[in-house]
Structure 1
Amino acid sequence: MRLATIRSTQGTFAARVESDTTAVKIDGYANVGDLLQEDNWRQVAEKAAGEEVTFEQTDLEAVVPAPKKIVCVGLNYANHIKEMGRDLPTHPTLFVKYPDALTGPFDDVLVPEYANAELDWEGELAVVIGKRARRVKEADAADYIAGYAVMNDYTMRDYQYRTLQWHQGKSFEKSAGFGPWLTTPDSFEFGGELATYLGDEKMQTTPTDDLVFNPAQLVEYISHIYPLDAGDVIVTGTPGGVGHARNPKRYIGDGDVVKVEIDGLGYVANKTVFE
């Protein structure tokens, strides 16, 4: 099952996606995040028999527009860790992104003039939590995962490396395309390709099961620090091939489209617009 947050002239609404352009409205819910607050959200979505709608890509909003928490994992693919000159970690590296950083999966990303000098791409798999998770064991973690989506994590490298804390380069306003929809675990199989494109050129590629810390391990680790709530998002890290690690370094330019595609989840594509 696939669930999306769709824009309309009356606002947004949650919907069950039937095809890449059609969906069934889930009455009573403004977005997928609101739907996930219901204990029986899956049954509500499966039985929804609301209005059938046709949508364009640009009608899609960030699938969960305002999660309470977005927890990002750095250095979680071995090939990316090695290209950045680091050792494999024994514990996940965590930092936070605020909901203000999210934008629609096909929206333009507007980059202010003072932050466009070292703009990098990072394609990532996102995990969406389906119910409150507190001190969850890895073996039980699957019960707490509502599904998966794609994250296009624009990174301002000059801001990121101003200090030892990465957050400031990772949470610029409306810089992370998120979607195109949530795919429930029964409809997604790990092991397919995660690929990031700059225009038509493939810049990153990795199988999705090549994570150092998989989603279940991340749910266990994070939920022992603080609870995860329904609708919260874990962004699991990016593979090798980022522009900052290349020789010579390469960055995103004005007008460039960054596309992130994950087998089984679809893709997001954001055009970069320098303000």
Structure 2
Amino acid sequence: MALHVLHYLHHGHAQWGVVANGAITPIPGEFRSTAEFIEANPIERLFLPRGLTIPESEVQWLSPVTANQQFICQGANYRQHMIESGMDPDVKKFNMIFTKATSCIVPADSPVVKPNGVQFLDYEIELGLVLKRDITSRESVTEENLHDYIAGAVIVNDYSARDIQIPQMQFYKGKSYRTFGPVGPYLCLLEKQDIPKLKELVLTLTVNGTVRQNDSTAGLVYGPVETLTELSAVHDLHAGDLLATGTPSGCALSIPSPEKQRAAAQLPEAEKWRLFLKMQEDRPQYLRAGDLVEAHIVSCDGAINLGVQRNVIVDEAA
């Protein structure tokens, strides 16, 4: 059975607790990282929380993934998102991997700051997976042993400055501004029998109440089995690290068709990117100060409900 955990601030003290029906049962102990919390609290120990409860309305949310963990991301990992990004899903045969700065991680209800000089701020709802243990050598992850590697799931919103990411070819910079990585509110810890539900989660994102993204994780191209196997051969991963698995279609970003891209390739570099930015100016979907972005992820049976992220977009102070 899935178990929902909250990292929160109460009377100036950072704590972790089990959440049920709007009440938090604190978990004893001091944990300086997500890794420390996961390693000290196997899910089996948390099913019978004891002690006084705290109304969730009385606490301040913190991110369930702490900034001393790795933030690894997959790009263009839903078929329709590939198409809207100008890629042919039948031709692309690689798993796109990049990272975000952990300094962009903020609680799920934080304002998102639109930096001065950034014109095209985009949203990307994603399922985040939190690792259960270290991976320091090449391993073969399978559907049968996936539960040994994944502790739980969270909501991630991979906010992106498209005018930095695309023309400058700066994925890391364009996606790593402070506040560009809300995580949570809940870390949903999973048992072995819960893992198959990761393939049937529904992701929904709205802007000012209008649905922009709505899809199921059944549409993932490279799932956690393939991705963790591949990453295990590249670099070390650690308990508590975050893997954001990609976003569905519906982003504000507009990419020229392959035909237009081929034509643009013949143009001088400055002209090519001038036309790209002009195309983005015609997209009203890009975020502006005052917009409210809400993201939620839930399983079809409701057993996994990762809560709701609510972010108001604000301009950077001059």
Q: TM-score, normalised by structure 2?
A: 0.80
Matched letter for residue 109 of structure 1: V
Matched letter for residue 177 of structure 1: P
The residue number in structure 1 matching 2:265 is none
Map residues 170-209 of structure 1 onto 2, 5 A cutoff: 170-186=175-191, 189=197, 190-209=199-218
Structure 1's consecutive aligned runs of 4 or more residues displaced over 6 angstroms after TM superposition are: none
- The answer to whether the aligner puts 1:9 opposite 2:11 as a matched pair is yes
CA contact (8 A) 1:68 1:231 kept: yes
Map residues 35-184 of structure 1 onto 2, 5 A cutoff: 35-38=37-40, 41-56=42-57, 59-88=60-89, 89-115=92-118, 117-134=119-136, 135-139=138-142, 140-184=145-189
Give the root-mean-square deviation of aligned CA atoms. 2.0
User: Once structures 1 and 2 are overlaid, which stretch shifts more, 255-264 or 106-115?
Assistant: 106-115
The residue number in structure 2 matching 1:241 is 250
CA contact (8 A) 1:14 1:31 kept: no
Query: What is the aligned length?
Result: 272
- The answer to whether the aligner puts 1:227 opposite 2:229 as a matched pair is no
Change (3 A) 1:44 1:31: farther
CA contact (8 A) 2:78 2:247 kept: yes
Change (3 A) 1:181 1:32: farther
Change (3 A) 1:50 1:129: farther
Matched letter for residue 41 of structure 1: P
CA deviation profile, 1:161-184 (whole Å, cap 9, x unmatched):
243341111111122211011112
The residue number in structure 1 matching 2:310 is 269
CA contact (8 A) 1:4 1:31 kept: no
Whole-Å separation in 2 of the counterparts to 1:57 and 1:236: 32
Whole-Å separation in 1 of the counterparts to 2:289 and 2:58: 22
The residue number in structure 1 matching 2:276 is none
Matched letter for residue 29 of structure 2: G
CA contact (8 A) 1:14 1:32 kept: no
Whole-Å separation in 2 of the counterparts to 1:230 and 1:62: 16
Matched letter for residue 70 of structure 2: K
Change (3 A) 1:175 1:164: closer
Task: Report the CA distance between 1:243 and its aligned residue.
Answer: 0.5
Q: TM-score, normalised by structure 1?
A: 0.91
Whole-Å separation in 2 of the counterparts to 1:46 and 1:25: 12
Unaligned segments of structure 2, at least 5 residues: 256-278, 299-304
The residue number in structure 2 matching 1:259 is 294
Whole-Å separation in 2 of the counterparts to 1:128 and 1:67: 13
Query: Which secondary structure state, in structure 2, belongs to the residue aligned with residue 56 of structure 1?
Result: helix
CA contact (8 A) 1:101 1:173 kept: yes
CA contact (8 A) 1:58 1:107 kept: no
Whole-Å separation in 1 of the counterparts to 2:168 and 2:251: 20
Which structure has the larger Rg over C-alpha atoms?
2
CA contact (8 A) 1:156 1:170 kept: yes
- Identity rate, percent: 26
Task: Report the CA distance between 1:218 and its aligned residue.
Answer: 1.4
The residue number in structure 1 matching 2:264 is none
Change (3 A) 1:51 1:222: farther
